[in-house]
Amino acid sequence: MTVAEVLTATVRIAASPADVFPYFIDPALMVQWIGEWADLRPEPGGRFALDFSKTPVRGEYVEIEPPRRVVFTWGVAGKDSLPPGSTTVEIVLTADGSDTVVELFHHDLPAGELDSHLKGWTAMLDRLVRLRT
């Protein structure tokens, strides 16, 4: 049980990739859909900081190719098991007619590592419970 997991998620948005892309790099736009606070420096190696429900997600931008692809690392500050930068989120925007298909891949999740499950995910899960209610 040491295989890293990839989570995928997708959504279709009635807007062009150029209209959707800023929501992944502009902190004011980012917090409209995820988190309460964001500090983003959208350049390779630039800071990716996002707080949601007291969970300080920290990482850095890896690749920024407007308007079709953005990659940033993702971890939780203070969590040894899911440290900042330990997982990678890749977002791919593909134009389809007048829509954009957003595909999200969350790479390197420590799904096979129980310690990581237990220690690292608990805070995120707390947030998820609230999202579901």
Partner 1 sequence: MSAARGGAAAGAPDEGDPADAVLRALADPHRRQILRLVRGGELAAGEIASHFDATQQAVSHHLQVLAKAGLLSERRDGARRLYALDPQALDPVREMLSELWPSALERLKYVVEQDQKKKTTAPKRAGRKP
CA separation, residue 79 to residues 9, 55, 63, 94 (Å) = 24, 10, 24, 34
- Rg, Å, the chain Cα set: 15
Nearer to partner 1 by C-beta: 61 or 109?
109
Nearer to partner 1 by C-beta: 4 or 18?
18
Q: Does the N-terminal peptide bond of residue 67 adopt cis geometry, omega within 30 degrees of 0? A: yes
Q: Is 107 in the site for partner 1 (CB under 8 A)?
A: no
CB of 81 to partner 1, least distance (A): 11
H helices present in 12-120, as ranges: 17-20, 27-30, 114-115
Q: Is 95 in the site for partner 1 (CB under 8 A)?
A: no
Binders of partner 1: how many residues, by CB under 8 A? 42
Q: Is 4 in the site for partner 1 (CB under 8 A)?
A: no
Dihedral angle sign, alpha carbons of residues 126, 128, 131, 133: negative
Q: Which residues bind partner 1 (CB under 8 A)?
A: 1, 7, 9-15, 18-20, 23, 29, 31-34, 36, 53, 102, 104, 106, 109, 111, 114-115, 117-119, 121-122, 124-133
